Amino acid sequence: MPDTEVRDRVSAHGYRVLLGQIRSRRIYEACRGVWPHISPTFDELETLRASADERHALASQTLIAVLEQRVQPWDTWDAGKGAALETWFVGALHLQFPTVFERWRKARLRRLDEHEACAAVIAAKGAPADPALGAVTRDELERALRTAEPEVRSVLALVAAGYRHDEIADHLRLSERAVEGRIYRFRRSMRNPVRGTGKKSTP
C-alpha cells in the first residue's frame, strides 16, 4: 500500500480532475460506462456552471464516498497492469459519482423555492402547454401555489427542475397518470381561481 504522503497526493489529484470534469461537463460522459442513465437536466447543469460552491460540494462528497469505502482504490491497484495509481483513483471517483450526484439532485430539489417552481412551470421551454397559464400574473401564480395541495407543489418543483413526467413518477413513487392528474389540477385552479384564494370558483 502506498504511504500516507502518496495517498494524499493521489487524492488531491483526483479531486482536481473531478472538479475540472464537473466544470467542463465531461464527467457525465466519463460515467456513462458505469451508469448509462446519468442525464442532468439543463437546470442542474446551469446550477453547477454558475456555482463554484455546488461544484466543490459535489466533488468533495464524491471524494469522501471513495475514501470511506472499506476497500480503498490503492488496495485493488496493480502496478503491473499498466494504469497509474492516479488514473485508477480517478476511475474510483467515476464509480461513485453517479450515486453522489443522485443524492445531490434530491437534496437540491428539496431546497427548491416553491414559488419559483411555479413560475418556472409557466415559463419553461417557451410558451406554456396550457394557454390559460400564460395569461396569469406572478402574484396570481404565487397565491395559487400557496393554496395548492402539498402533493401538487412537489410535482411542480420537479417539473420546474426539468424532469419528465415518467422521472417525476419514479422519484415520487407515483404512476405517470397520477403525476399528470396533479399538474392538471393546478392548471385547472389557474384557469378558474377565486382571486386571492386560489380556489376554484363556483358556477
- Summarize pLDDT for 142-179 with one digit per residue, the tens: 566 666 777 777 777 777 666 788 888 877 778 888 88
Q: Are residues 121 and 107 in the same domain?
A: no
Pick left, alpha or beta for residue 198 (phi over 0 → left; psi -120 to 50 → alpha; otherwise beta).
left
Q: Are residues 131 and 97 in the same domain?
A: no
Q: Are residues 187 and 159 in the same domain?
A: yes
| pLDDT for residue 135 is more than 90 | no
pLDDT score, position 145 = 62
| pLDDT for residue 197 is more than 60 | no
Look at residue 201 and tell me if it is in a domain. no
Q: Are residues 96 and 129 in the same domain?
A: no
Q: Answer with the residue of higher pLDDT: 152 or 137.
A: 152
pLDDT score, position 6 = 79
| pLDDT for residue 20 is more than 80 | yes
Q: ∠24-38-179 over CA atoms, to 5°?
A: 125
Last-in-domain residue among 95, 111, 127? 111
Q: Are residues 11 and 90 in the same domain?
A: yes
Q: Are residues 11 and 102 in the same domain?
A: yes
CATH code of the domain in which 165 resides: 1.10.10
pLDDT score, position 4 = 80
| pLDDT for residue 88 is more than 90 | no
Q: Are residues 175 and 88 in the same domain?
A: no
Binned at pLDDT 50, 70 and 90, residue 201 comes out as: very low
Q: Are residues 37 and 128 in the same domain?
A: no
The interaxial angle of helices 52-67 and 42-50, nearest 10 deg, is 100
Binned at pLDDT 50, 70 and 90, residue 127 comes out as: very low
Average of per-residue pLDDT values in the chain: 76
Q: Answer with the residue of higher pLDDT: 112 or 82.
A: 82
Q: Are residues 106 and 30 in the same domain?
A: yes
Last-in-domain residue among 111, 140, 157? 111
Backbone angles phi, psi at 49, to 5 degrees: -70, -40
Q: What is the C-alpha to C-alpha distance for residues 32 and 26, in angstroms, rounded to an integer?
A: 10
**Residue 94 three-state SS:** helix
Last-in-domain residue among 77, 111, 145? 111
| pLDDT for residue 137 is more than 90 | no
Q: What is the C-alpha to C-alpha distance for residues 122 and 112, in angstroms, rounded to an integer?
A: 16
> What domain range is 160 assigned to?
114-191
What predicted TM-score, i.e. pTM, was given to this entire model?
Answer: 0.56
Q: Are residues 129 and 92 in the same domain?
A: no
Alpha helices in 33-175 (DSSP H): 42-50, 52-67, 73-76, 85-111, 114-123, 131-134, 138-147, 150-160, 165-172
The number of distinct structural domains making up the chain is 2
Q: Are residues 34 and 75 in the same domain?
A: yes
Q: Are residues 97 and 179 in the same domain?
A: no
Binned at pLDDT 50, 70 and 90, residue 126 comes out as: very low
Average pLDDT of the segment spanning 25-47: 85
